[in-house]
């Protein structure tokens, strides 16, 4: 706890006393500028919307709509006969009807380009409820991901113990399995709850030929007409998200060979045992055991290369001759690395498109030498990036590395945690949260001499984002009153910064305000942006704890390209990404 120097009686009296939110000085000045004799009428409000809030075409009807929304709040004394008073103006600014992203925009990107022209909200090991070694496999995290707008679901499919059915589980671990059919049915039911745009199911296939045929029957019977089948062996170009609305797409490649029983026994032994409440406590020992036996695994597994892309070479005709034709026909997006090394994997074929998967380490190594080739590849083809295999705790990596090189499917452990996942949430708040975000043109077009975008280049500043952090409120209502400090109000500070290309990355911090549930910082920060199209605004609040790690007080991440200028109420979220009921910041955004 931060402070324990006050007497108990005095501190408890201070702790439970909460002053009402009061408009900061700048807001009072703004009200005085756009009011007359303490009253902000319709025309005053219309001019404020146009000149400060960036709503250049604001009408009297728009201003009236703001006032109508305030009337429904049933606050007393926020109106005079002819308009808003200061309290009413402040209530509008900090209210839910004034968010930093425009909810009325909805899906507004061009959705008629090929799939390869979009960043796509992508999950990794979508069936896991927790860590990568011992957590349960379930359809519950799949449903959760779909309801949040995730458009790519990954399923690892293995034979069950009797080899007559198909389980979904994380191979070579103690994760308990779930039936494939249960996952497929849940995908069908929830696929289009959050978005009408297509869902891609990537399969990591470890099946025998007879079970591949069984999977083909399951998929066909479950999805029926929802299933997209191109009717040809290879696509010359990917169709558009618009043309694939409410369709399900299968992406995989046949395995090189069936992985025999010794790899399945470990998983099946876990499936036979009852749920053990002490299993999570034993996770540490399992990790230790797993690490101790890493030498028994292939080097590919160490690098996370158990992905479906690392089976048979896609161009080897012998590999597909025994694959059931009904299974092969399901594969609308073909995956595989092909023969040769990285340069061959990244070869652009003018007559066909495909998907390539790389682990995060493979991508990091590749961009040193082949960065430009990756961007050329992703102009037509799909690139999926996935977490390295030793992320046992379901943590994630920096998604910007993939995005700035055009990677469409930056796959994340959605059940994970941390700042990387917050960036993922932020990116896909864009375009109405539909799960598809149009890539900027510079990632899709080559220059006159064939040159492509270089994220490490020394680029000029395109625009500067000026951010004013006025104040925050809501912690008193959303947190227990002793959550931050036992004997006094919290000591909050805010962190504001940019995630993007290397030259744009920065993080800044306000001063710490002691003993205040409603901190008013009133500080201004400027962020020169070289590539604003890929920039995300990071916002965090923490409570200064002198005796240990600072307490978390909320976060959000916003796509810079969609931030509304003006004074906005910014809702904050928990570490898991859930929106708080009351916690928000009052901020101003300007592009200068």
Question: Which of 390, 405, 437 is where one domain is finished?
Answer: 437
pLDDT in tens, 93-142: 999 999 999 999 999 999 999 999 999 999 999 999 999 999 999 999 99
Is 170 contained in some domain? Answer: yes
Output the pLDDT for position 169: 96
Number of domains comprising the chain: 3
pLDDT at 231: 76
Residue 518 lies in a domain: yes
Do 229 and 80 lie in one domain? The reply is no
Residues 32 and 82 in one domain: yes
User: From the CB of residue 299, how many other CB atoms can be counted at a distance below 10 Å?
Assistant: 9
Residue 466 shares a structural domain with residue 429: no
Identify whether 487 is part of a domain: yes
Q: What's the CATH code of the domain at 540? A: 2.60.40.150
Residue 402 falls inside a structural domain: yes
Domain that holds residue 186: 115-274+287-437
Q: Write the CB contacts of 190 (distance below 8 Å, at least 6 apart in sequence).
A: 142, 143, 146, 147
Q: Is residue 159 located within the same domain as residue 87?
A: no
> Within this chain, do residues 473 and 521 fall inside the same structural domain, yes or no?
yes
Taking only the tens place, the pLDDT of each residue in 575-592 is 999 999 999 999 999 999
Q: What is the pLDDT of residue 423?
A: 98
> How many CA atoms lie within 13 Å of 494's alpha carbon, on the beta-carbon side?
29
Catalytic one of 44, 170, 405, 425: 170
Quote the pLDDT of residue 76.
58
Q: Is residue 100 part of a domain?
A: no
The answer to whether residue 493 is domain-embedded is yes
Last residue of a domain, one of 390, 406, 437: 437
Give the CATH number for residue 335: 3.20.20.190
Shared domain for 468 and 351, answered yes or no, is: no
Q: What is the pLDDT of residue 450?
A: 86
Quote the pLDDT of residue 309. Answer: 43
Transcribe 413-479 into DSSP letters.
-TT--SHHHHHHHHHTTSGGG-SEEEPPGGGT---TTS----TTS-PPP-EEEEEEEEEEE-HHHHS
pLDDT of residue 449: 87
**Predicted local confidence at residue 259, as pLDDT:** 42
Residue ranges, the chain, pLDDT below 70: 1-20, 74-76, 233, 254-321
Residues 49 and 7 occupy one common structural domain: no
The per-residue pLDDT for 4 is 47
Same domain, 518 and 537: yes
Task: Give residue 398's pLDDT.
Answer: 97
CATH of the domain at 40: 1.10.238
Residues 6 or more apart whose CB falls under 8 angstroms from that of 462 comprise: 529, 530, 531, 532
Catalytic site residue from 124, 206, 405, 542: 124
**5 and 31 fall within a common domain:** no
pLDDT at 298: 35
CA–CA distance, 79 with 40 (Å, rounded to integer): 9
Tell me: do 484 and 550 sit in the same domain. yes
Picking from 35, 61, 93, the residue at the C-terminal end of a domain is 93
Residues 348-354: contacts with CB under 8 Å, at least 24 apart: 348/376, 348/377, 348/379, 348/380, 348/381, 351/234, 351/236, 352/234, 352/235, 352/236, 353/114, 353/116, 353/234, 353/235, 353/236, 353/237, 353/238, 353/380, 353/381, 353/382, 354/234, 354/314, 354/381, 354/382
124 in active site = yes
pLDDT at 297: 36
Whether 70 maps to a domain, the answer reads yes
Residue 453 within any structural domain of the chain: no
Residue 11 and residue 148 share a domain: no
Q: How far apart are CA 376 and CA 583, in angstroms?
A: 43
- In a shared domain, residues 142 and 202: yes
């Amino acid at each position: 706890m931060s402070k324990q120097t006050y007497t108990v009686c005095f501190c408890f009296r201070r702790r439970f006393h909460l002053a009402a939110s009061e408009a900061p000085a700048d807001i009072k000045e703004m009200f005085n500028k756009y009011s007359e004799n303490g009253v902000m009428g319709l025309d005053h409000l219309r001019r404020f919307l146009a000149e400060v809030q960036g709503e250049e075409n604001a009408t009297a009807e728009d201003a009236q709509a703001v006032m109508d929304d305030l009337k429904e709040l049933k606050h007393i004394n926020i109106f005079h006969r002819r308009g808003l008073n200061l309290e009413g103006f402040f209530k509008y600014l900090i209210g839910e009807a004034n968010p930093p992203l425009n909810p009325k925009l909805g899906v507004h990107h061009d959705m008629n380009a090929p799939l390869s022209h979009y960043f796509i909200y992508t999950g990794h090991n979508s069936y896991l409820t927790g860590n990568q070694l011992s957590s349960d496999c379930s359809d519950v995290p799949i449903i959760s991901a779909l309801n949040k707008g995730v458009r790519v679901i990954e399923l690892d499919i293995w034979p069950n113990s009797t080899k007559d059915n198909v389980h979904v589980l994380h191979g070579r671990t103690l994760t308990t399995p779930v039936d494939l059919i249960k996952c497929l049915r849940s995908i069908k039911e929830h696929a289009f709850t959050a978005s009408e745009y297509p869902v891609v199911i990537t399969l990591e296939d470890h099946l025998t030929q007879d079970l591949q045929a069984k999977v083909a029957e399951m998929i066909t019977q479950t999805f029926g007409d929802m299933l997209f089948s191109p009717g040809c062996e290879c696509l010359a170009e990917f169709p558009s998200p618009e043309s694939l609305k409410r369709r399900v797409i299968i992406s995989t490649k046949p395995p090189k060979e069936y992985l025999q029983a010794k790899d399945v026994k470990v998983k099946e032994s876990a499936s036979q045992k009852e749920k053990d409440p002490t299993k999570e406590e034993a996770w540490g020992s399992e990790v230790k055991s797993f690490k101790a036996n890493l030498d028994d695994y292939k080097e590919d597994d160490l690098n996370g290369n158990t992905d479906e892309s690392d089976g048979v070479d896609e161009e080897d005709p012998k590999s597909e001759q025994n694959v059931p034709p009904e299974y092969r026909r399901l594969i609308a997006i073909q995956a595989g690395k092909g023969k040769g090394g990285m340069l061959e994997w990244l070869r652009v074929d003018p007559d066909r498109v495909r998907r390539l998967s790389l682990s995060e380490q493979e991508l990091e190594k590749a961009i040193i030498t082949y960065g430009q080739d990756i961007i050329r590849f992703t102009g037509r083809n799909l690139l999926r990036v996935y977490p390295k295999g030793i992320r046992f705790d379901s943590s994630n990596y920096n998604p910007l590395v993939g995005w700035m090189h055009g990677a469409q499917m930056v796959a994340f452990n959605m059940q994970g945690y941390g700042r990387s996942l917050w960036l993922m949430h932020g990116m896909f708040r864009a375009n109405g949260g539909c799960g598809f975000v149009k890539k900027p043109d510079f990632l899709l077009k080559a220059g006159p001499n064939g040159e492509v975008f270089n994220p490490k280049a020394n680029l000029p500043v395109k625009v500067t984002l000026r951010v004013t952090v006025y104040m925050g409120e809501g912690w008193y209502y959303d947190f227990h009153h002793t959550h931050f400090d036992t004997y006094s109000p919290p000591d909050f500070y805010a962190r504001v910064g940019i995630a993007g290309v290397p030259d744009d990355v920065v993080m800044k911090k306000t001063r710490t305000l002691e003993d205040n549930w409603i901190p008013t910082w009133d500080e201004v920060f400027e962020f020169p942006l070289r590539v604003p199209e890929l920039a995300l605004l990071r916002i965090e609040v923490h409570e200064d704890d002198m005796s240990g790690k600072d307490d978390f007080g909320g976060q959000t991440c916003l796509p810079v390209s969609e931030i509304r200028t003006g004074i906005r109420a910014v809702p904050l979220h928990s570490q898991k990404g859930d929106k708080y009921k009351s916690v928000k910041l009052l901020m101003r955004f300007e592009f200068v």
